[in-house]
Chain A
Amino acid sequence: MTQHRDTGLGPPDEYLEAEIHRLLAEDPSVAEQGITVVRRETGLVLYGEVESSHRREEILRRVAERFPDLPVTSEIGVVRTEAPTQIEQLP
């Protein structure tokens, strides 16, 4: 992955978003492609659904490790695994 030059300003938003997307997909300890990254004035917000709370924590740990100065908020949920209560009937 191409590293950003240190301009003192940090990478432009779009490169930052791309870098986090690739980090989450390509890092073997994460391998998540469904996380959305939104940059707000208060910092980064991560959205999406994962299969375990361990994976959610790992995502936050890896992003914090790569961007230690960026405040990160998580809106990542763990997908429910209850049995369905309804069926879909398709004649």
Chain B
Amino acid sequence: MIRIAAVGDVHLDEDVVGRFRPALEELPDCADALLLAGDLTRHGTEAEARCVAREFGGLGVPVITVLGNHDHQCDQVPQVVKVLEDAGITVLEGNGVVLDCAGGRLGVAGVKGFGGGFAGRCASDFGEPEMKAFVRTTTESADRLADALHSLDCDLLVALTHYAPVPDTLAGEPLEIYPFLGAYQLGQAIDSAPTALALHGHAHAGSERGTTPGGVRVRNVAHPVIKQAYSVFHLGDDLDQGEVSRLTASGT
């Protein structure tokens, strides 16, 4: 069994530092890794990234993240990535990482992703250069995710994005903004590999659970959706049924 903790959209700045830390200190007892689904900061400044490093650094479990749209706002992505990596946080964008956990090798592939909408109601690579650039950003991101997923040699494969790969986990958001919240191409990439779980954030008013058309479990771990410091998922062939149960001190 592999134990994954996850949260997204924590939007850190000085005013939030310290709020998550007491719960994060419990992670070594209940999870093999913490996955962050982007939007770590409010505006993507180096100073805000330092707040993330203070809050999510040195936790005693590996921390893996993708960036979100907020982390791009101030065009300081290289500085943000450097601050996070200096704090021991792995930042994924079109690549992956394999962790040796007690329950097996956990592979995590990540991209930020982008919008575009979902099958039958989505933007097309057609018309003005701006529209083509928009859709190509999405397809290129999905292609990078597929490549990263296929590149990993592991026992359990997880896809980590900021934008949603399916509309299921957007339920609660206005239908009109779905094309700004995710894209079906991300789901297609996830279904092209033997992915066990897909985690995303971005949709603050969405819902927790969904599946891709290929049957991969999708979980929206945006902080306002899960309403706790992080969610914990147990995955493995040795588990015999899907259920939600109490978390004990040993994490089982």
Our pick among A34, A80, A82, A91 for the contact of B237 (Cβ within 8 Å) is A91
The reply to whether B223 and A89 contact each other, CB–CB distance below 8 Å, is: no
A36 vs B245: C-alpha distance in the bound complex, in angstroms? 33
Q: Tell me which residues across on chain A come within 8 A of B205, comparing CB atoms.
A: 34, 36, 48
A51 an interface residue at 8 Å Cβ cutoff? yes
The reply to whether A80 and B242 contact each other, CB–CB distance below 8 Å, is: no
A36 vs B241: C-alpha distance in the bound complex, in angstroms? 38
Known: A52-B16, A54-B15. A89 touches B204 (CB 8 A): no
B47 an interface residue at 8 Å Cβ cutoff? no
The reply to whether B245 and A83 contact each other, CB–CB distance below 8 Å, is: no
B248 → A minimal CB distance (Å): 9
> When each residue 53-91 of chain A gets 1 if its CB lies under 8 Å from chain B and 0 otherwise, what string results?
011000000000000000000000001111111111111
The reply to whether A90 and B233 contact each other, CB–CB distance below 8 Å, is: yes
The reply to whether B224 and A79 contact each other, CB–CB distance below 8 Å, is: yes
The reply to whether B73 and A84 contact each other, CB–CB distance below 8 Å, is: no
B39 → A minimal CB distance (Å): 10
A interface residues, tally (CB under 8 Å)? 24
> When each residue 227-245 of chain B gets 1 if its CB lies under 8 Å from chain A and 0 otherwise, what string results?
1111111111101111111
B197 an interface residue at 8 Å Cβ cutoff? yes
A49 an interface residue at 8 Å Cβ cutoff? yes
Between A48, A55, A88, the greatest number of chain B beta carbons within 10 A of the residue's beta carbon is seen for: A88
B196 an interface residue at 8 Å Cβ cutoff? yes
The reply to whether B241 and A87 contact each other, CB–CB distance below 8 Å, is: no
The reply to whether B19 and A51 contact each other, CB–CB distance below 8 Å, is: yes
A-B CB pair tally, cutoff 8 Å: 103
The reply to whether B196 and A90 contact each other, CB–CB distance below 8 Å, is: yes
B interface residues, tally (CB under 8 Å)? 45
B78 an interface residue at 8 Å Cβ cutoff? no
A45 vs B10: C-alpha distance in the bound complex, in angstroms? 24
A81 vs B26: C-alpha distance in the bound complex, in angstroms? 13
B72 an interface residue at 8 Å Cβ cutoff? no
Between B22, B229, B230, the greatest number of chain A beta carbons within 10 A of the residue's beta carbon is seen for: B229
B interface residue numbers (CB < 8 A to A):
3, 10-12, 15-16, 19-20, 22-23, 26, 30, 42-43, 70, 73, 196-197, 204-205, 217, 219, 223-224, 227-237, 239-247, 251
Pairs across A and B, CB under 8 Å, 28 listed: A34-B205, A34-B224, A36-B205, A48-B204, A51-B11, A52-B15, A79-B223, A80-B228, A81-B20, A82-B23, A82-B229, A83-B22, A83-B26, A83-B228, A83-B247, A84-B228, A84-B231, A86-B246, A86-B247, A87-B233, A88-B232, A89-B233, A89-B241, A89-B244, A90-B196, A91-B235, A91-B237, A91-B240
